[in-house]
Chain A
Amino acid sequence: MSAIYILWLRELKRYSRSRAQILASLGQPLLYLLVLGFGLGPVFQRAGQGSYLQFVAPGVIGMSVLFTSIFSGIGLLWDRQFGFLKETLVAPVPRLHIMIGRTLGGASVAMLQGLLILVVCLIAGFRPSNPALLPIGIGVMALVAIVFAALGTAIGSTLQNMQGFQLVMNFLVMPIFFLSGALFPLDGLPAALAVITRLDPLTYGIDGLRGTLIGMTHFGVVSDIGVLAVVASAFMVLGAYSFSRIQV
């Protein structure tokens, strides 16, 4: 258990020390929030959907959690490159503990990042409809973080070098984000798109965040949490399996 703790702690230390990176990571969400929030706001309002800033803020929070958690998993590649991975793999500790430690560490970092973006949203004028539901919203964030940290670990274990990274970025991470309904409502979508969005785990995360933060949900917060919990368990198993097959 102490191995899980020390590797979790390592991820947090690394995060808290990368100040420049934290600052840089605020750029993209801010862009979405301000440019889309204020740019598309009038159109959205005219369509009778209310404030776009209110609508897009949970999406932007979900996006930050997605990016941070999946990249922390893929950070395995860096550890491989810089050799640190070997130090952990040759230690007298079950690999499963190593995988759990770093995946939970990555998920915790992603949650912190999500909270940071929530604060940014509040500053930009976002107002949660029912602050009492905020703890549940944070729980949803935690689940999203675990889902994608585990997926990132699975990818990072399989990928052997940086060339594959762009591939993952363009064909996996960006589609997961754009198809999640982070930027648009899920009602009245064309049938094909409706099916695809339902296959995207992030969809349930964003929906759960909207349900708790602005009281607007497509599937219902309880089923969102149910789906996320199942996917999180499945991806943890997948991540553990891929990690167990890493060769030094």
Chain B
Amino acid sequence: MIHVENLMKTYGEVKAVNGVSFDVTAGEIFAFLGPNGAGKTTTIQMLTTLVRPDSGRIEIDGLDPRTRPHDVRRRFGIVFQDPSLDGELTAYENMELHGVLYHVPRRTRHERIERLLGIFELWDRRDTYVKKFSGGMKRRLEIARGLLHTPRILFLDEPTLGLDPQSRNQLWTQVKHLNETEQVTVFLTTHYMDEADRVAHRIAIIDHGRIVARGSSAELKAQTGTDSLEGAFLKLTGSTIRDERADAADQLRQMAKMWRR
């Protein structure tokens, strides 16, 4: 479903993604893990046509995002790291707008919105302005929205960031349910190892722009001789904290971005 070969992307001096290759097969839940600044988001951006790779090959359902971006976009749904809803519109209107942008025919649109909002327990709140939603409700709405156009692949970039355990649990139960009933392939990133352990069929760990390990959760534990995925992750990526460097680089990027040529 996703085929990636020797993917490269450099920002200035930083090799954000440095020769990454992997395959995701249809119907599986694939977790892409790594510390901050490891290249997760850049990889997702390249897979989802938002950033052009410097070199390497990508195939999404057999199509190249560079040459057929619109066809690729129709085949995936995405939940970004940061929220991307319109708070001044209601939940239903956000869904409807998405349906129109993705050319979902009017008749199926309403049915599907009702079904998805039902699954994510938001149907009763469909006419509430999204700005009044809690963090967990917003996330669920975004996932429901990402699935509205029946994509083959669902990208989830840290979907549970900032949610309480109850919301996280509910969210993953629903995602698993949809993976099974709609056969949608799921590509996710997260910092919560227990989540990856619980839902992912296969895992790849990326660090410094390169994939350092891959396999099922059990395989990674066996490979590193640890008894938890968290232990395996720390063993593979080290226990130094990456936040500071990433933050300074981010700040510089922000300053440089204020006025873009």
A190→B96 CA distance, assembly (Å) = 55
> Nearest residue in A to B74 (C-beta to C-beta)?
A92
When distances are taken between beta carbons in the complex, the residues of chain B under 8 Å from A14 are 86, 88-89
B100 & A3 in contact (Cβ 8 Å cutoff): yes
A84→B98 CA distance, assembly (Å) = 11
Known pairs A84-B86, A90-B49, A160-B259; A13 contacts B93 (CB<8 A): yes
Q: Which of A85, A89, A90 has the most B CB atoms < 10 Å from its CB?
A: A90
A19 an interface residue at 8 Å Cβ cutoff?
A: no
Which residues, 1 to 33 on A, are CB-close (under 8 Å) to B? 2-3, 5-7, 10, 13-14, 17-18
Which of the residues B49, B82, B97 comes within 8 Å of A6, measured between beta carbons? B97
Q: Which of A87, A89, A164 has the most B CB atoms < 10 Å from its CB?
A: A87
When distances are taken between beta carbons in the complex, the residues of chain B under 8 Å from A39 are none
When distances are taken between beta carbons in the complex, the residues of chain B under 8 Å from A10 are 86, 89, 97
B257 an interface residue at 8 Å Cβ cutoff?
A: yes
B50 an interface residue at 8 Å Cβ cutoff?
A: yes
Which of the residues A18, A91, A164, A248 comes within 8 Å of B101, measured between beta carbons? A91
B260 & A2 in contact (Cβ 8 Å cutoff): no
B82-113 contact mask (Cβ, 8 Å, vs A): 1 or 0: 11111111000100111011110000000000
When distances are taken between beta carbons in the complex, the residues of chain B under 8 Å from A89 are 50
Which residues, 191 to 248 on A, are CB-close (under 8 Å) to B? 247-248
A158 & B93 in contact (Cβ 8 Å cutoff): no
Which residues, 158 to 187 on A, are CB-close (under 8 Å) to B? 158-161, 163-164
A13 & B260 in contact (Cβ 8 Å cutoff): no
A86 an interface residue at 8 Å Cβ cutoff?
A: yes
When distances are taken between beta carbons in the complex, the residues of chain B under 8 Å from A164 are 258-259
> Nearest residue in B to A87 (C-beta to C-beta)?
B84
Number of interface residues of B (CB under 8 A): 33
A248→B42 CA distance, assembly (Å) = 11
> Nearest residue in A to B101 (C-beta to C-beta)?
A91
When distances are taken between beta carbons in the complex, the residues of chain A under 8 Å from B102 are 91-92
Known pairs A160-B257, A163-B258, A248-B50; A84 contacts B103 (CB<8 A): no
When distances are taken between beta carbons in the complex, the residues of chain A under 8 Å from B58 are none
B100 & A92 in contact (Cβ 8 Å cutoff): no
Which residues, 96 to 141 on B, are CB-close (under 8 Å) to A? 96-98, 100-103
A83 & B82 in contact (Cβ 8 Å cutoff): yes
Whole-angstrom distance between the Cβ of B111 and the nearest chain A Cβ: 18
Number of interface residues of A (CB under 8 A): 31
A129 an interface residue at 8 Å Cβ cutoff?
A: no
Known pairs A86-B84, A90-B49, A91-B73; A13 contacts B101 (CB<8 A): no
When distances are taken between beta carbons in the complex, the residues of chain B under 8 Å from A84 are 84-86
Q: Which of B86, B96, B101 has the most A CB atoms < 10 Å from its CB?
A: B101
A248→B84 CA distance, assembly (Å) = 12
> Nearest residue in B to A17 (C-beta to C-beta)?
B88
Whole-angstrom distance between the Cβ of A110 and the nearest chain B Cβ: 18
B137-151 contact mask (Cβ, 8 Å, vs A): 1 or 0: 000000000000000
A113-147 contact mask (Cβ, 8 Å, vs B): 1 or 0: 00000000000000000000000000000000000
Whole-angstrom distance between the Cβ of A236 and the nearest chain B Cβ: 21
Which of the residues A83, A94, A247 comes within 8 Å of B84, measured between beta carbons? A83
A3→B67 CA distance, assembly (Å) = 22
A83→B145 CA distance, assembly (Å) = 14
List the interface of chain A (C-beta within 8 A of B): 2-3, 5-7, 10, 13-14, 17-18, 82-94, 158-161, 163-164, 247-248
12 A-B residue pairs with Cβ-Cβ distance under 8 Å, sorted by A, are: A6-B100, A82-B86, A82-B87, A86-B50, A90-B49, A91-B101, A92-B70, A93-B101, A160-B259, A161-B254, A164-B258, A248-B51
List the interface of chain B (C-beta within 8 A of A): 45, 48-51, 69-71, 73-74, 78, 80, 82-89, 93, 96-98, 100-103, 254, 257-260
Question: 5 tightest A-B contacts by CB?
Answer: A83-B84, A91-B101, A92-B73, A92-B70, A6-B100
Instruction: Other than A14-B86, A85-B84, A92-B102, give 16 A-B pairs with Cβ distance below 8 A.
Output: A3-B101, A6-B97, A10-B89, A10-B97, A17-B88, A82-B83, A82-B86, A86-B50, A86-B80, A87-B86, A90-B78, A92-B70, A160-B254, A163-B258, A164-B258, A164-B259
